């Protein structure tokens, strides 16, 4: 079948690996020989075989051989069908993309020197997450558009920094031990007057110490209030089945209500990034809605590709969360950024 040009892959369903268990031990050799033949076929044809087996739980040697050859084994028929469906879908995307696409990362090839320093410093301090200003700096190093931030380590520094912005400012706690800043009373908005900024600094520090008395407080992030725009979310994680995946959708506080998100296996191509933007249910919001102008789709696509590049550059990263990202008629602004590192 795999040598047929009209066949793109094969899904095997049933008892493979269990014939020797269910019928006769002598069948184990035949199953192992078949596993070797499957591996040879995958290499010869460069086409996938997906295996579903009711005996995956028994861990027979024949199934271990399939895994050795890179053939995924599922005990769930639903997951096996979804897996080959996703491969077929991704193959369709790649056929529509004109230039050569890469299925795997050239890990670390595009890492920046300063980016490596950020990772090294976080590891040296025993942290499992980057600080928000570090996460934004890393994104900026790879060409992402982020909110301008200043890290204040005293109330007077915060006042001076706020005076340097024309807009009102937002102030946020910076601590590796407080990832959800709002829960800790660590976010204050629409500040401008020196007294407001000074009081906010003191209050945020006090709130943080009440929330977590042992928190290592690095300072307060002072940023200009971003202009109103459409809120989107972009995130990544390491999936147990598929490895690194990226998510895109409508963001802000509505993300858990609307659940209007799409996923892709990383790395992604420009073609995949474009299709992700087109596939959300609320795509009309990007096209212009009730007299509003169309929003900058190309900026979103560029950010998706930038985040894909970052995941492929720093193997230390376990997950990333950029929410909200504000999209405008021209450009966008990453307002909040969170990057979690692997434990090891």
For residues 242 and 222, what is the distance between their CA atoms, to the nearest angstrom? 38
Q: What is the pLDDT of residue 95?
A: 67
Q: How wide is the angle at C-alpha 323 spanned by C-alphas 248 and 341, nearest 5°?
A: 90
Instruction: Give me the pLDDT at residue 200, please.
Output: 97
Q: Is residue 236 part of a domain?
A: yes
Asked if 169 and 212 count as a contact pair (C-beta separation under 8 A), the reply is no
A 10 A CB-CB count for 210 gives 11
Task: Using the structure block, give the residue that is written with the tokens 């209030």.
Answer: 225
Give the count of domains, the chain. Answer: 3
Q: Between 44 and 332, whose confidence is greater? A: 332
Q: Are 56 and 74 in contact (CB under 8 A)?
A: yes
315 and 250 together in one domain: yes
Q: How many helices, marked H, and strands, marked E, lie in the chain? A: 12, 13
Is 309 contained in some domain? yes
Determine if the pTM surpasses 0.85: no
- Across 290-313, average pLDDT: 94
Please give the average per-residue pLDDT across 169-195, as a whole number.
94
Sign of CA dihedral 245, 140, 250, 297: negative
Residue 100 reports pLDDT greater than 80: no
For residue 103, pLDDT beyond 60: no
pLDDT for residue 331 is more than 90 = yes
- Over residues 261-277, the mean pLDDT reads 91
Of the residues 75, 96, 117, which one is the last residue of a structural domain? 96
DSSP string of 210-233?
Answer: HH-TT----EEEEEEPPPP-EEEE
Q: Is it the case that residue 5 has pLDDT exceeding 90?
A: no
Q: CA-to-CA distance for 340 and 119, rounded, in angstroms?
A: 11
Partners of residue 247 on adjacent β-strands: 235, 263
pLDDT tens readout for residues 213-238: 999 999 999 999 999 999 999 999 99
Tell me the HSE value of 257 on the side-chain side, using a 13 A CA sphere. Answer: 4
CA distance 59 to 62: 8
174 has a pLDDT exceeding 90: yes
User: What pLDDT score was predicted for residue 259?
Assistant: 80
Residues forming a β-bridge with 150: 222
Is 337 in contact with 139 (CB distance < 8 Å)?
yes
CA proximity to 234, closest of 269, 276, 267: 276
What average pLDDT does the segment 31-38 reach? 92
Q: Of the residues 192, 209, 224, which one is the last residue of a structural domain? A: 224
Assess whether 288 and 335 both reside in one domain: yes
Q: Does residue 134 lie in a domain region?
A: no
User: Could you list the residue range(s) of the whole structural domain that residue 299 is in?
Assistant: 230-341
What integer pLDDT is reported at residue 94 of this predicted model?
65
CATH number at residue 188: 3.30.1490.20
């Amino acid at each position: 079948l795999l040598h047929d040009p009209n066949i793109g892959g094969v899904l095997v369903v049933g008892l493979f690996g269990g014939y020797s268990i269910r019928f006769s031990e002598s069948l184990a050799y035949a199953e192992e020989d078949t596993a070797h033949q499957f591996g040879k076929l995958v290499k010869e044809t460069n086409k996938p075989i997906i295996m579903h087996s009711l005996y995956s739980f028994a861990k027979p040697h024949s199934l271990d051989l399939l895994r050795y050859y890179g053939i995924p084994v599922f005990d769930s028929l639903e997951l096996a069908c979804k897996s080959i469906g996703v491969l077929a879908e991704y193959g369709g995307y790649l056929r529509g993309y004109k230039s050569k696409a890469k299925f795997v990362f050239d890990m670390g090839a595009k890492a920046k020197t300063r980016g490596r320093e950020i990772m090294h410093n976080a590891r040296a301090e025993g942290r499992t997450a980057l600080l928000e200003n570090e996460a934004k700096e890393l994104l900026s190093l790879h060409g992402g558009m982020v909110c301008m931030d200043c890290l204040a380590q005293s109330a007077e520094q915060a006042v001076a920094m706020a005076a340097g912005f024309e807009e009102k400012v937002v102030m946020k706690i910076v601590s590796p031990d407080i990832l959800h800043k709002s829960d800790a009373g660590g976010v204050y908005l629409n500040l401008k007057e020196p007294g407001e900024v000074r009081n906010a600094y003191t209050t945020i520090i006090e709130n943080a110490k009440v929330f977590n008395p042992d928190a290592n407080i690095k300072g307060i992030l002072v940023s200009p209030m971003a202009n109103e725009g459409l809120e989107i979310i972009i995130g990544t994680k390491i999936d147990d089945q598929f490895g690194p995946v990226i998510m895109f959708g409508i963001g802000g506080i509505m993300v858990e209500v609307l659940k209007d998100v799409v996923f892709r296996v990383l790395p992604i191509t420009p073609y995949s990034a474009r299709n992700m933007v087109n596939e959300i249910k609320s795509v009309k919001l990007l096209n212009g809605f009730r007299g509003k102008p169309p929003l900058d789709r190309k900026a979103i696509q560029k950010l998706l590709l930038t985040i894909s590049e970052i995941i492929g550059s720093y193997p230390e990263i376990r997950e990333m969360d950029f929410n909200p990202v504000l999209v405008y008629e021209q450009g966008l602004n990453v307002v909040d950024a969170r990057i979690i590192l692997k434990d090891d």
